Chains A and B, each alone.
Chain A
Amino acid sequence: MNSRVGIVIVSHSPDVARGTADMVRQMVGNEVPLGWCGGNPDGGLGTSVEKILGAIDAAWSDAGVAILVDLGGAETNSEMAIEMLPEERQAKAVLINAPIVEGAIMAATESWGGGSLDEVRLTAEELAPR
């Protein structure tokens, strides 16, 4: 059982998602639950609600999951995915307003240190453009 906040990476590009996940792993090892996905249902550039649900599931933690996205469709599709989660999970899945690579690394580092979902979000969102 993992009590650390899970990190979910949702990019339009499978390569960006995988590369970001690699960087997170290098920072925090395997102690932070991590899920990632990229690409539309056909594997081209885009996002897929089905894949996002899978990535949330892979990273699921009782402490919640922080979801990092790149562009518009990734955000809209992630919001849709959150609404499709079982009700008790919906409040524990949070979309983070931060650049995907830096945000994922900051969020994962905060999670590794034992931060709550809210602390993970605040730490990553310090990177958001104002």
Chain B
Amino acid sequence: MTETDTMAMTDVGEAAITALATAMAEAMFAHAGELTDLDQAIGDGDHGLNMKRGFEAVMAELPAIAAKPLPEALKAAGMQLVMKVGGASGPLYGTLFMTLGKEIGPAPDRQELAAALAAAIAAVKARGKSDTGQKTMLDVLAPVQAALAAGASIGEIRAVAGEAADATVPMRATKGRASFLGERSIGHMDPGARSSQLLVEAVCGVLGGGR
């Protein structure tokens, strides 16, 4: 359980918040084209650009955000996403981060993080009037939360996120614009599931010290 210890951070300070936000932003920047391509297949083709714009806004405010305690930093980052993303993913990811900020303390352990993520997932479900199994970001976030709660290692959580994103390929979308395509949404990975996977991987990369 040594990796559990890695995750039981005693102090999520300025350096850690900066590292986490930067890793997430870099993942969005590096994969903006891929996310947009996925979204062009089954959505309106703006997911990569939208996420890039949102995380550019987070990075522009990073010194101020990282100076805050973790809960306030999460809320501030979420608000940037809400205001700047420009698509449905803004309120959805914004709600995820803002709810994490509401539910978490300044030095969360695994149990607290898992509980906060569960609350944040419930808030995203309410915001999107959606649930798991509908080919959305929830199909990655929910299994990641379950793995986290069950004591999985960072490497295992990363693998769960990847498998969960892959598992959206054969799903049929019933929410969002992909649902307009009906059967034709089958066979493409959901762009929101992919961006969630990338964000989870980025966090795992920072927490796991690159493992």
Interface positions of A (Cβ within 8 A of B) = 12, 39-42, 44-50, 71-73, 75-77, 79-80
- List 15 contacting pairs A-B, 8 Å CB cutoff, sorted by A: A12-B44, A40-B86, A41-B83, A42-B86, A44-B86, A47-B87, A49-B90, A72-B88, A73-B89, A76-B90, A79-B91, A79-B127, A80-B90, A80-B94, A80-B127
Q: Does B66 contact A (CB under 8 A)?
A: no
In contact, B46 and A49 (Cβ under 8 angstroms):
no
- What's the Cα separation between A76 and B95 when bound, in Å? 11
Contact mask for chain B residues 68-99; partner A; CB cutoff 8 A; 1 contact, 0 none: 00000000000000111111111110110000
In contact, A46 and B46 (Cβ under 8 angstroms):
yes
Taking A72-B176, A76-B127 as contacts, is the C-beta distance between A41 and B91 under 8 angstroms? no
In contact, A77 and B53 (Cβ under 8 angstroms):
no
Interface positions of B (Cβ within 8 A of A) = 44, 46, 49-50, 53, 82-92, 94-95, 127-128, 176-177
Among B49, B82, B127, B128, find the residue whose CB has the most chain A CB atoms closer than 10 A: B82
What is the CB-to-nearest-CB distance from B211 to chain A, in angstroms, rounded to a whole number?
A: 36
Taking A50-B83, A76-B127, A79-B127 as contacts, is the C-beta distance between A40 and B88 under 8 angstroms? no
In contact, A49 and B53 (Cβ under 8 angstroms):
no
Partner of A49, one of B44, B82, B176: B82
In contact, A46 and B86 (Cβ under 8 angstroms):
yes
Complex A-B, nearest 7 residue pairs according to Cβ-Cβ distance, in ascending order: A40-B86, A73-B88, A46-B86, A80-B91, A76-B88, A73-B87, A76-B91
In the complex formed, the residue of B with least CB distance to A50 is: B83
In contact, A48 and B83 (Cβ under 8 angstroms):
yes
- What's the Cα separation between A5 and B88 when bound, in Å? 27
In contact, A49 and B50 (Cβ under 8 angstroms):
no
Taking A40-B50, A40-B53, A80-B94 as contacts, is the C-beta distance between A47 and B86 under 8 angstroms? yes
In contact, B86 and A48 (Cβ under 8 angstroms):
yes
In contact, A72 and B177 (Cβ under 8 angstroms):
yes
In contact, B50 and A46 (Cβ under 8 angstroms):
yes
What is the CB-to-nearest-CB distance from A128 to chain B, in angstroms, rounded to a whole number?
A: 16
- What's the Cα separation between A56 and B82 when bound, in Å? 17
- What's the Cα separation between A46 and B85 when bound, in Å? 9
In contact, B84 and A41 (Cβ under 8 angstroms):
yes
What is the CB-to-nearest-CB distance from B143 to chain A, in angstroms, rounded to a whole number?
A: 23
In the complex formed, the residue of B with least CB distance to A48 is: B86
A48 contacts across to B, CB distance below 8 A? 83-84, 86
A39 contacts across to B, CB distance below 8 A? 86
- What's the Cα separation between A46 and B52 when bound, in Å? 14
- What's the Cα separation between A93 and B83 when bound, in Å? 19
B82 contacts across to A, CB distance below 8 A? 49, 80
What is the CB-to-nearest-CB distance from A82 to chain B, in angstroms, rounded to a whole number?
A: 11
- What's the Cα separation between A41 and B83 when bound, in Å? 8
Taking A42-B53, A76-B127 as contacts, is the C-beta distance between A49 and B83 under 8 angstroms? yes
- What's the Cα separation between A40 and B86 when bound, in Å? 4
Partner of B46, one of A45, A50, A75, A76: A45
B90 contacts across to A, CB distance below 8 A? 49, 73, 76-77, 80
Among B46, B86, B87, find the residue whose CB has the most chain A CB atoms closer than 10 A: B86
